[in-house]
Amino acid sequence: MKQIVCIVCPNSCHLQIDEKTFQVTGQLCSRGAAYAKQELLDPKRTLTSSVKTIYKAHPVVSVRTTGEISKTIIPEVLAALRQIVIDKPLPRGSIIIDNVADSGIDIITTSTLDGE
Amino acid sequence: MTRYDIVIIGGGPAGIAAAIRSSASNKSVLLIEREARLGGILKQCIHDGFGLSRYKEKLSGPEYAEREIEKLKNTAVDIKTLTFVSKIVRATNGYQLTLITRQGIERLFAHKLILATGCRERTGKQVAIHGTNPSGVLTAGSAQYYMNILGQMPMKRTVILGSGDIGLIMARRITLEGGLVVGVYEIKREPSGLTRNLVQCLNDYNIPLFLSKTVTRVFGHDRLSGVEIMKVDETMTPIPGTEEYIECDSLILSVGLIPENEIAETLAVPLNPATKGPYVDQGMETLVDGIYSCGNALHVSDVADMVSETGELAATSAISIDAGARKLIKIGFNKNISYLVPSHLDCDKPLNKVICYFRSSACLTNQTLKITVDGLLVKSIKYKHVRPPEMERLLIDFSNIVSPKKILFSLEEST
């Protein structure tokens, strides 16, 4: 049995998972069971960060992954983000990197960059 | 003088939600914000986890804010940004506001007020740290502003004092951006942030958390060069002989948030010492008729979704017909509960869907919350774990109760 605290929502359920059968107990919803199994096999996280722009009033724009990525590729994704400088106005949700680190997940902007 | 039925002060998530809900009536509504842009603190909260209950999605702070602002822009609400409320005085059937705007001083009349003024961070001046006054000592919110809005990282080797959520989130952010977080030091015996933040911000990146330890002194002339850490006893008093020196160029303070109620105080709105926000009924109306409070000005919430919810509750009661004299009953609670919002029930307001928020006074397991009215059990809920940093929310139907005298919330060990 492994103890895992679910981080999907603020309920922070205390889960117990059997390492062989993947039987999960302690969750308030089905997301908890899926989380515990994933956490055991290949922990995944949503990554949020920011990338540089050329605009003085908005020197950075906030970004995130469209879904969860393996914790192991986080350094590679951050290195890719550091190479980017945005030089045009972008609506919220614009794709900055498509299929980042071949994860099937994109990086999108999470705020409007109006270019002022 | 311009007259409004409802004036909302503060354009963060609570004020925006209150404005949107108010506009669903035929009332004239004005939203006042002192910054250039709406959205409040959400603008700099680029981490995710917002909107899980409101949008059923895991959004970042800016996304949550922009979605709310887009809904607001589709309403007839008047919005004044870069506007500061300098004075409010009582007038016949309402309030007279003095505003400072880019155009100069302006006066207007409000029949009702919704205070959505948010909260402030406790600063170094409010915790006992001795020593010099070097640069490099900043609050978690300031560090967040530097990194997420200005795109600057004014730290390489950081000590974080306090395990509040924004401190934990900044520990992760600094680490991901190439800085070193030496450790997070918490004076209490229990961490003060949400468990999920302890897991995904500290454990994920092997950032150590030290409990029952605090920063007692800072060193450095122009720039911070290090801090002194000491162990504390049960009364949170530093224990002599436990001093250790830690070299660092920055000290981030994440030592609590205080509701901002300067305007409420000038209007003699009674404040609850447990929340530092106004006492309110289930419609978020303060003990002063016609003044409502919501969001983090009312009590510091864990998540933005609940902040928006209290804004909507305030607006819903502000737009309803004035029933005249209110029938207020104070809600009682036992020692295992540190505070309860609302603090009062108004028997002349709707009683069927009363939303209550509470925090436990300690980390407890296997508890049952029993809600009784005049000795009769109305609701009973079981909790496996309750922790003070994690706010509990409930929906209670009090509509079957006729002229109640005593309402009691009692959190007890399950039998």
- The domain spanning residue B411 has which CATH number? 2.60.40
- Restricting to B residues 376-395, those with a Cβ less than 8 Å away from any Cβ of A are 384-385, 390
CB proximity B190 to A under 8 Å: no
Q: Across residues B258-281, what is the average pLDDT? A: 97
CB proximity B172 to A under 8 Å: no
Q: What percent of chain B has pLDDT over 70?
A: 99
- pLDDT per residue as tens digits for the range B63-108: 999 999 999 999 999 999 999 999 999 999 999 999 999 999 999 9
CB proximity B35 to A under 8 Å: no
Q: Which residue has the higher pLDDT, B362 or B194?
A: B362
* Residue A59 and residue A91 in one domain: yes
CB proximity B47 to A under 8 Å: yes
Does a structural domain hold residue A116?
no
Pairing of strands B2-9, B104-115: parallel
CB proximity B78 to A under 8 Å: no
* Residue B81 and residue B137 in one domain: no
Residue where a domain terminates, one of B320, B352, B369: B320
Q: What percent of chain B has pLDDT over 90?
A: 89
Cβ atoms < 10 Å from Cβ of B324: 8
* Residue A56 and residue A101 in one domain: yes
Q: For position B21, which CATH number holds? A: 3.50.50.60
* Average confidence score pLDDT of chain A: 92
User: What's the domain range around A104?
Assistant: 48-109
Chain B residues closer than 8 Å to A114 by CB = none
Q: For position A10, what pLDDT does the model report?
A: 66
* Residue B114 and residue B39 in one domain: yes
Q: Cβ separation of B147 and A50 shorter than 8 Å?
A: yes
Cβ atoms < 10 Å from Cβ of A21: 7
* Residue A69 and residue A36 in one domain: no
Give B355→chain A minimum CA distance, Å.
Answer: 18
Give A45→chain B minimum CA distance, Å.
Answer: 8
Give B399→chain A minimum CA distance, Å.
Answer: 28
Q: Give residue ranges of A with CB < 8 Å to any B CB.
A: 5-10, 12, 14, 26, 43, 45-50, 52, 59-60, 62, 64, 71, 74, 78, 92, 110-112
Domain count, chain A: 2
Q: Across residues A15-43, what is the average pLDDT? A: 90
**Res B366 pLDDT > 70:** yes
* Residue A94 and residue A52 in one domain: yes
**Cα-to-chain-centroid distance, residue B145:** 18
User: What's the domain range around B232?
Assistant: 123-255
Contacts of B367 (CB under 8 A, 6+ apart): B336, B360, B382, B383, B386, B411, B412, B413, B414
Q: Across residues B195-201, what is the average pLDDT? A: 89
**Res A114 pLDDT > 70:** yes
- pLDDT per residue as tens digits for the range B27-74: 999 999 999 999 999 999 999 989 989 999 999 999 999 999 999 999
Tell me the residue type at B164.
G
* Residue A14 and residue A62 in one domain: no
* Residue B127 and residue B251 in one domain: yes
* Residue A54 and residue A95 in one domain: yes
Q: Cβ separation of A110 and B59 shorter than 8 Å?
A: yes
* Residue A18 and residue A55 in one domain: no
* Residue A36 and residue A67 in one domain: no
Q: Across residues B392-403, what is the average pLDDT? A: 90
Give A59→chain B minimum CA distance, Å.
Answer: 6
Q: Across residues B323-350, what is the average pLDDT? A: 93
Domain count, chain B: 3
**Res B265 pLDDT > 70:** yes
Chain A residues closer than 8 Å to B43 by CB = 111
d(CA B372, CA B332): 10
CB proximity B66 to A under 8 Å: yes
**How far is the CA of B295 from the CAs of A13, A44, B270, B338, B412, in angstroms?**
25, 32, 17, 18, 28
Q: Burial, B364: exposed, middle or buried (Cβ in 10 Å; 0-12, 13-18, 19+)?
A: middle
Tell me chain A's radius of gyration from C-alpha atoms: 18
Give buried/exposed letters for B139-160 (b at 16+ CB in 10 A, else e).
bbbbbbbbbbbeeebbbebbbb
* Residue A28 and residue A67 in one domain: no
**Res B211 pLDDT > 80:** yes
* Average confidence score pLDDT of chain B: 95
Q: B239 is written with which tokens? A: 């224990």
- pTM (global) more than 0.90: yes
* Residue B107 and residue B158 in one domain: no
**Res B353 pLDDT > 90:** yes
**Res B189 pLDDT > 80:** yes
**Res B404 pLDDT > 90:** no
Please tell me whether residue B397 adopts helix, strand or coil conformation. coil
* Residue B147 and residue B102 in one domain: no
* Residue A60 and residue A35 in one domain: no
The ipTM assigned to this model is 0.91
* Residue A67 and residue A102 in one domain: yes
* Residue A54 and residue A82 in one domain: yes
Q: B314 is written with which tokens? A: 């305030």
Does a structural domain hold residue A115?
no
Residue where a domain terminates, one of B255, B281, B309: B255
pLDDT band with cut points at 50, 70 and 90 for residue B403:
confident
